[in-house]
Chains A and B, each alone.
Chain A
Amino acid sequence: MPDVVIVGGGPAGIRAASILVEAGLRPVLVNEAREVGGQGYRKPARSLALDINALMGSEAGKYQRLHSLFASLRERIDYRPGTLVWGIHEKTLHTLSDDVAGTIPYDALILATGATDRIMPLPGWTLPGVFTLGGAQVILKDQGCLIGSRIVFLGSSPLLFLAALQYRRSGASIAAVVDTTPFSAKRAAIRDLAASPRTLARGVMYRTALHMAGIPVLDGATPLGIDGKDHVEGVRVKDSRGRERLISCDAVAYGHGLKPETQLAELAGARFRFDPDFRLWLPETDLDGRAGADLYLAGDGAAIGGADAAEASGALAAHALLADMGRPQSETELVRLRRQVERLRRFQKGLAQAFAWPIAQAAALPDETIACRCEAVTVGEIRAAVQAPLGPREVNRVKAITRCGMGRCQGRFCGPALQEIVAGACEAPIAEAGRLRIQAPVKPIPLHAALELEP
């Protein structure tokens, strides 16, 4: 039997595993987290007295179904929780689990690595008390904590309203929800958003609920900066009517939608193309997730589609893998899954317009703003490097000169902004700025792990 390995224990990875198990395989499922569910369906630790059904709201049924499905698979797969895949070389995964290095060879690989928040730098965004929007949700589910005593939800993301509502229901004091996209952009995106009327309705419901709770919601505001000496003390914004306002708070949940975690896909040999709708470099796949020989991508790690698309694309990747092994798959089922994934990803494309990546904010960033939090590289240093005589116009060269993107996170958080700043500084189209290349280890590992290359 071929060695099939799945990386990622979220909805895409679990669904892929279930299709492979039904086909009589026993895949390895590698999960960096200790619990399955990914970030969205993250399972709270047993000791936490959290009512997860109340927190998940309308998605509680799906959450429970996914965890029941995993429980039914648990003994029929080779499950490796708490295991980081930090490198991929010649069809072998290099892993680290409880500080012990290991390798997992594979014949076929499904990557379902999920997503993180996409972030645009802002003056003060490295102050203690500023966290990603996704992180604000994770800390509530994982640790039963709120990120602060008085919170501003800032940025532009469909998760902005959901996270604010979850916080409100948990007893948080919310100073404001500040959406940086004007409401007109949401109306303009309605055609793509209509691809998933149920999700659209849910979004409207979240917003209404916040309004009813008396929480100020600002549309089309421009963030000017996060103020504070040693920690967050307030957020300065210019509202849609051009008035400057200071919103006092001690925490900020900040984000601009999601960005696929594509580092392992790149190491496994996937090719990338620039996606003008998301303004991101995304791995190239066919409809079913094939990204190269014996390589399949699924879920938000391939293209942002949300949890339902993740499950369907996980199933598709598994069917594609089985078909490539010479086991014919039901064409009807493939067509159904492809339609579902296509529809949900079209919806996300609409969301990317309705909650826009703030390109104008990148151009307006003061020079002293930190762009790279790992290496403390400023926007001005990047602009100066690009605009120097014979200066670089490509992000990897800019990285070599400025160290932006060279730190521990490997450009996960500064990468999208670096592209905008470089393209803006040399007045070139964004795609020409290129894409930061990744290297193993994709996350920091102890030196001994890198030296133990033999199993």
Chain B
Amino acid sequence: MPDETKQTAHKGQFVRVVPRHGTKLRLTIDGAAVEAVEGDSLLAVLLLNGRVVRHLEFGGEPRAGFCLMGACQDCWVSLGNSERVRACTTLAADGMVLWTNPRKDNVDA
């Protein structure tokens, strides 16, 4: 049965129900430190810690991916160094810097 108290306290979109064992990784999302485990996709890291992956180039509305299998291209996220990757098919790596908003990314660059 789902743990309602845990779920209402949950700040992310995704809910982890299967534990992952592996090396702990440290990343940042929009400057804030987050933890991940080796094997996590960037999309999982972003949506376990929040509800947005990127902001649309047209109008800036929030997006959080859609197909989750590399087809819709709606989860391209900025790594802050002008490099952009598809979050659902890219594995998290230690030290990665993720920006959900390109404007903040520009400030960083």
Contact = CB atoms under 8 A, between A and B. Distances in A.
A284 interface: no
A139 B40 CA distance: 11
B26 interface: no
Interface size class of A (residues with CB under 8 A): 35 or more
A148 interface: yes
A261 B44 contact: no
B59 interface: yes
B76 A408 contact: yes
Residue of B18, B44, B71, B72 with most chain A CB atoms under a 10 A cut-off: B71
A444 to B, nearest CB: 6
A132 interface: yes
A50 B18 contact: yes
Given A374-B73, A408-B76, A409-B73, A131 B62 contact: no
Contacts, number: 155
A149 B15 contact: yes
A413 B72 contact: yes
Contacts of A407: 73
A149 B7 contact: yes
Contacts of A48: 18-20, 39
A221 to B, nearest CB: 22
B103 interface: no
Contacts of B1: 171
A170 interface: yes
Contact of B20 (A47, A148, A408, A412): A47
Given A48-B20, A412-B72, A145 B2 contact: no
A413 B66 contact: yes
- A contacts with B: majority SS: loop
Given A134-B67, A250-B13, A144 B62 contact: no
A145 B17 contact: yes
Interface string A43-56: 00111111000000
Contacts of A412: 71-72
Size category of the binding interface on chain B: 35 or more
Contacts of B10: 149
Interface string B16-33: 111111100000000000
A407 B66 CA distance: 15
B20 A128 contact: no
A251 B40 CA distance: 20
B73 A128 contact: no
Nearest to A377: B58
Contacts of B15: 145-146, 148-149, 172
Nearest to B22: A47
Interface string B42-78: 0110011001110010110111111111111110100
B1 to A, nearest CB: 7
A279 interface: no
A311 interface: no
A135 interface: yes
Given A32-B70, A150-B7, A231-B51, 20 more contacts: A48-B19, A128-B13, A128-B64, A129-B51, A130-B66, A132-B66, A132-B68, A135-B66, A135-B68, A143-B16, A144-B19, A149-B10, A170-B18, A171-B1, A173-B2, A173-B7, A230-B52, A230-B62, A373-B72, A409-B74
15 contacts: A39-B69, A116-B67, A135-B65, A143-B43, A145-B15, A145-B16, A146-B16, A148-B13, A170-B17, A230-B62, A231-B64, A374-B73, A407-B73, A413-B66, A444-B73
Interface of B: 1-2, 4, 7-8, 10, 13-22, 37-41, 43-44, 47-48, 51-53, 56, 58-59, 61-74, 76, 86, 89
Interface of A: 32-33, 39, 45-50, 116-117, 126-132, 134-136, 138-140, 142-150, 170-173, 230-231, 250-251, 261, 373-376, 407-409, 412-413, 443-444
